[in-house]
Amino acid sequence: MPPRLPRNVKLIITSQNGLRALTSFTDRRDWDVITVGDASANLARGMGFKNVTSAKGNADDLVVHVRQDYSSKNDTFAYLSGSKVRLDIADELSKLGYDAVRYVYYENTAVQNLPNVDLQKITHIALYSKLAASCLEKLNVDLAGKRPVSISAFVDAALDNQSLATRYIAKRPEESAMIAALSS
């Protein structure tokens, strides 16, 4: 179980998994929440958080959002994350003079074996993280005839060893942009 969060922090959320994990540990919904994107912001509002803002981008955009909108002297931040992150936002904010702490709320690990699914029936594969894309590489999944849809170019780069005729990359790191990429 993660440590109890202080009352006076602003929560930084970079994944819906972090929100789900938090709400499984507490009924409190009075924290201010800053999310990486709109999907997480909408989920936070749906879970009962009232003061929610979205950085409308990726982890780097979230750091920029905090720098532009919050005073380093008056605000304390709690970054709720998985065990593996591309960018430790709390560390980045601390380097900029903010009071920020990272709390690991869930474990994100690569699968060791593919689930028992009929890969012949799959036409598209949605990739939301570099870990997911790397997992496909490590498991030697034959992606011939499959169309990966990556949430960012960073995620798509993990598929560099694959020769794929069709690849879709979202223009913004959000699910709606992934869907839009399919029609481009």
Say whether 50 sits in a helix, a strand or coil. coil
Mean pLDDT across the stretch 155-160?
A: 83
DSSP symbols for 91-121:
HHHHHTT-EEEEEEEE-----SS--S--GGG
Mean pLDDT of 102-122: 83
Give every strand in the sheet of 124-127, ordered side by side.
Answer: 124-127, 147-150, 168-169
The tokens for 100 are 């920020």
Domain ranges of the chain: 10-106, 119-182
- Domain 10-106: which CATH class? alpha beta
| Residue-wise pLDDT tens digits, 10-36 | 999 998 999 999 999 999 999 999 999
Give the model's pLDDT for residue 138.
79
User: Looking at per-residue confidence, does 154 or 162 come out higher?
Assistant: 154
Percent of the chain beyond pLDDT 90? 43
Is the pLDDT assigned to residue 175 strictly greater than 90?
Answer: no
Regarding pTM above 0.75, the answer is yes
SS3 content of the chain, % helix, strand, coil (to 5): 35, 20, 45
Q: What is the mean pLDDT of the chain?
A: 88
Looking at per-residue confidence, does 64 or 4 come out higher?
Answer: 64
The pLDDT confidence band at residue 162, using thresholds 50, 70 and 90, is low
- pLDDT category at 120 given cuts 50, 70, 90 is confident
